[in-house]
Amino acid sequence: MPSSATPDILPQGEITFRGRGLAVMQGRRLSLKVCPRCSQRNDRRAAEQGHCHWCAYIPSLADAEPISPGSA
Ligand SMILES: [Zn+2]
């Protein structure tokens, strides 16, 4: 049985992937702004499709972490 663990409750708003990259979650829709693997700012069209325009990386939602203001 494949265990691709997608959390039931997804973080919303701006998120990172274990502290890298930058994306915006709206509902189940992911917009990848900055790639967590190659750190390039993403092409808008690729961003809306949730993958990196540069290295084709598709970030895992299991790595998604909300950006909590005030935590440094
Ligand atoms: Zn990339």
Report, as an integer, the average pLDDT of 7-33: 92
Residue 72 has a pLDDT of: 57
Distance 25 CA to ligand 1 centre (A): 18
Q: Would you kindly state where each structural domain of the chain is located, as residue ranges?
A: 13-60
- Which pair of tokens denotes residue 66? 């909300």
Distance 44 CA to ligand 1 centre (A): 13
- Which pair of tokens denotes residue 52? 């990196």
Closest CA to 28 of 51, 8, 47: 8
Q: Pick 71 or 39 by higher pLDDT.
A: 39
Distance 59 CA to ligand 1 centre (A): 9
Return d(Cα 3, Cα 54) in angstroms, integer.
Answer: 28
Residue 68 has a pLDDT of: 75
CA distances from 66 to 20, 40, 41, 63 (A): 11, 20, 19, 10
1-16, pLDDT tens digit by residue? 556 666 567 889 999 9
Return d(Cα 11, Cα 28) in angstroms, integer.
Answer: 9
